């Protein structure tokens, strides 16, 4: 699986069956990103942005998939995460917790003519 921090709730551990992803790609999963696809059968195929990608059973394709751009997913399970940024921030910073008592502390970015804050 591809490593790194992808933003949002970027722990790509939510398995979503390809047919389910396609059914909900414009609703439930429209704000998701998928970081890999696992072939579950010998005739697994993904069509992403009009490119057809066959995968052998048990093989994984590490690629950031945007669910609305997946049109075919035969015998595929995607590993995804919600990146809508609507969930609470967690963790700690030098100044302490980022999420406390239901309040989200949003950072202010200085520069860009004030358009980035």
pTM, full prediction: 0.65
Helices (H) and strands (E) in the chain, counts: 1, 11
**Rounded Cα distance, 116 and 66, in Å:** 25
Give the pLDDT score at 12. Answer: 58
Tens-of-pLDDT digits for all 117 residues of the chain?
444 445 555 565 789 999 999 999 999 999 898 989 999 998 899 999 999 999 999 999 998 899 999 999 999 999 998 876 655 555 444 444 544 455 555 555 555 555 554
**pLDDT of amino acid 49:** 95
Q: Buried b vs exposed e over 30-65: b needs ≥16 C-beta within 10 Å?
A: eebbbbbbbbeeeebbbebeeeeeebeeeeebeeeb
Mind giving me the DSSP string for 78-97?
A: EEEEE-SS-SPP-SEETTEE
Query: Is residue 77 within 8 Å of residue 17, measured between CB atoms?
Result: yes
């Amino acid at each position: 699986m591809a490593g790194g921090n992808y933003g949002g709730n970027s722990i790509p551990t939510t398995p979503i069956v390809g047919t389910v992803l396609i059914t909900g790609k414009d609703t439930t999963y429209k704000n998701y990103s998928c970081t890999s696809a696992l072939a579950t059968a010998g005739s697994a195929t993904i069509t992403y942005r009009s490119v057809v990608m066959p995968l052998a059973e048990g093989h994984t394709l590490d690629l950031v998939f945007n669910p609305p751009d997946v049109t075919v997913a035969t015998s595929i399970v995607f590993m995804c995460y919600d990146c809508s940024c609507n969930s609470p921030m967690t963790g700690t910073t030098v100044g302490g917790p980022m999420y406390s008592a239901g309040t989200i502390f949003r950072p202010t970015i200085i520069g860009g003519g004030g358009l980035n804050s």
